[in-house]
A and B are shown apart, each in its own frame.
Chain A
């Protein structure tokens, strides 16, 4: 097969080479800024993902430090917002776990605000969405489910295995139900991790695609994707909050299961 390059091919190739390329997933690319490893075994490099984790931590601290800069009995706007944030998580923990959830409150409070601010910081143009990394959400979800499993054994001993045996089910169905329960339990970290990761990835991908159209389309065609990005950014803020809320709620539910064995 002979290859004859015509002038049209060259022109098309040149146009294709200089044309903007749509790469909405580029936003999720983790790039190591400082490559560090501990004794050659543990990779503790600093990447854009890690930097934005720290930025999210800083934002959480700035928010609460500002809210409680000069705390008064009659709160101002920022203090009310900070108190609302505290009472919101306190309400979730108390409502789902009850009094026995008190020791877990700081952890759940931290988890919620870490995820929330990672979600919201990802909406800043040029930033990085930490929670769009499956490994990050999986680290949290697996830690939570593993902790609930170990804590269940710690509290109930071998009786905790009854958690996988649904009550009121005929004995004949047990060979079917117990594996289902076990699979259901094992699916918990997966669903928890994928839900957050997929929501963040999908939302930001959608925004990236729309922004691509904003900058590539002529002005008379760009207003539609631009308007969409404006609206969808609002939706993403809402989704960021909702996903942090769902992650927190399910964490409480799993811990409650290990305590009360429903």
Chain B
């Protein structure tokens, strides 16, 4: 009975004890743990890690290259913007210069036109004055002729009628009045 109980207890202990603490299975597990680790290390180092690093490096290079391209494009865009600004400034300066030149040119043309007009007017004025003078001379000549005619007429009448002094003065006065009247008509 006691022996049965001891055996049962031993069996119970054996069945409830932790199998991990059985020393007979330590040796090969130590060896194979280390060996398996290095086998996996070898496999990963030769087959997996290079493949992953290759992909990551390729992606890194691609990103780096894209960034460099983007940076280059940015620099080109900045340069283009600066060039455009310079061209705009140059165009603005040229436009201002052209406007200034046009302004000066127009002022010069205006001055020239004014001078030309002034000369033209002066010329026309002198022509007009000359024509007036000619007309005046002509009128004076005509007046002279009229006065001579009147004088001749008066002389003829004086001689013909043998007029008295009073009558003569009267006739002269009439002649002068006639001349004055004629002169007024000429002016």
B43 proximity list for chain A (CB < 8 A): 57, 61
Task: Place the interface of chain B in its size category.
Answer: 35 or more
What is the CB-to-nearest-CB distance from A70 to chain B, in angstroms, rounded to a whole number? 10
Determine the distance from Cα of A197 to Cα of B33 in the docked complex, in whole angstroms: 14
CB interface residues, A 6-32, toward B, < 8 Å: 21, 23, 25-26, 28-30, 32
CB interface residues, B 1-36, toward A, < 8 Å: 1, 15-22, 25-34, 36
Q: A25-B16, A71-B51 are in contact. Are A64 and B28 (CB under 8 A)?
A: no
B19 proximity list for chain A (CB < 8 A): 25-26, 28-30
Chain A binding surface SS class: helix
A73 proximity list for chain B (CB < 8 A): 55, 58-59, 62
What is the CB-to-nearest-CB distance from A166 to chain B, in angstroms, rounded to a whole number? 33
Determine the distance from Cα of A57 to Cα of B54 in the docked complex, in whole angstroms: 22
Determine the distance from Cα of A44 to Cα of B22 in the docked complex, in whole angstroms: 16
Q: Check: A172 CB closer than 8 A to any chain B CB.
A: no
Partner among B1, B18, B39, B40 whose Cβ is within 8 Å of the Cβ of A28: B18
Determine the distance from Cα of A201 to Cα of B52 in the docked complex, in whole angstroms: 34
Q: Check: A110 CB closer than 8 A to any chain B CB.
A: yes
Q: A86 and B56: CB pair below 8 A? A: yes
Q: Check: B90 CB closer than 8 A to any chain A CB.
A: no
CB interface residues, B 34-90, toward A, < 8 Å: 34, 36-37, 39-41, 43-45, 47-49, 51-52, 54-56, 58-59, 62
A109 proximity list for chain B (CB < 8 A): 44, 49
A57 proximity list for chain B (CB < 8 A): 36, 39-40, 43
Spell out B's residues near A (CB within 8 Å): 1, 15-22, 25-34, 36-37, 39-41, 43-45, 47-49, 51-52, 54-56, 58-59, 62
Write 8 A-B pairs (CB below 8 A) sorted by A numbering. Answer: A49-B25, A61-B47, A64-B52, A83-B55, A114-B37, A136-B33, A140-B33, A201-B18
